[in-house]
Copies of this chain bind each other. A is one copy, B any other.
Amino acid sequence: RAQGIPYAFITNNSTRTPTQYLARLEAFGIAATPQQVITSSAVTAEEIARRFPQGTPFFALGSPNLIDLIAARGYPFDPERAQIVVVGLDRELTYDKLCIAGQRILAGAAFIATNGDATFPLGNGAVAPGAGSLVSAVATMTGRQPYMIGKPAAPMFQTALRYFGVPAAHALMIGDRLDTDILGAQKVGMQSALVLTGVSGADQIQTIAPDGVFADLAELLAAWRSAL
């Protein structure tokens, strides 16, 4: 930020709003505005607005936040007539909701997934089922694969690039997961840097090779400064 380089945060987590994220970032001493937080929920709503006529009914397995964001774009939530089915992380999942999602897709509705993350971290080392687990259930029931929004799929990265108005080759993705952050960035032609503070370790770098590897953000910034 001191360099005046624009930045944003992109997250697959579709259960929190940008404002909720800012509080968490602030706890780490990181300043940002809500516009700088790009969630899979927001990108899902944006992709629906780009691909379907306003007024198309939808159904979703997902957080109230996800449903509100889509509805706010002018799409009515209607389980019985849905032409679009969105599957994300839904802590209020029931068998009946799973049934509706699958039945609407089998009846011809589009199948969109917020992301494919298998698990959702609970913070104490424990995990809960992620959006990807629910997506697998619906994919198995219907024999269909979803249009994927979240990392490593392209829409999340493309939305961030549109936000900055820069071509992919001029953008750097910094992430802590090889199979989502780094792979996704490479697929859209962005540069990528892996920081070893999260999920992926240096020993896991094989077919997915980032442009740079750093112990943490401080080391990345130091390398950056000395390169300028």
* Distance from A118 Cβ to chain B, minimum over Cβ atoms (Å): 5
Interface residues of A in 114-148 (CB under 8 A from B): 118-119, 126-130, 132-141, 143
Complex Cα spacing A126 to B102, Å: 10
Q: Are A129 and B137 also in contact (CB < 8 A) when A93-B93, A93-B94, A93-B98 are?
A: yes
* Distance from A114 Cβ to chain B, minimum over Cβ atoms (Å): 15
Closest to A93 in B: B95
Helix, strand, loop or mixed for chain A's interface? helix
Residues of B within 8 A of A102 (CB): 119, 127-129, 133
Residues of B within 8 A of A94 (CB): 93-94
* Distance from A17 Cβ to chain B, minimum over Cβ atoms (Å): 20
* Contact of B141 with A133 in the complex, beta carbons under 8 Å: yes
Residues of B within 8 A of A141 (CB): 118-119, 127, 129-130, 133
* Distance from A152 Cβ to chain B, minimum over Cβ atoms (Å): 16
Q: Which of the residues B95, B127, B136 comes within 8 Å of A136, measured between beta carbons? A: B136
* Top 10 closest pairs, chain A to chain B, by CB: A136-B140, A93-B95, A137-B137, A136-B136, A133-B141, A133-B137, A133-B140, A129-B141, A99-B128, A91-B95
Chain A positions within 8 Å of B, measured between CB atoms, are 90-95, 98-99, 102-103, 106, 118-119, 126-130, 132-141, 143
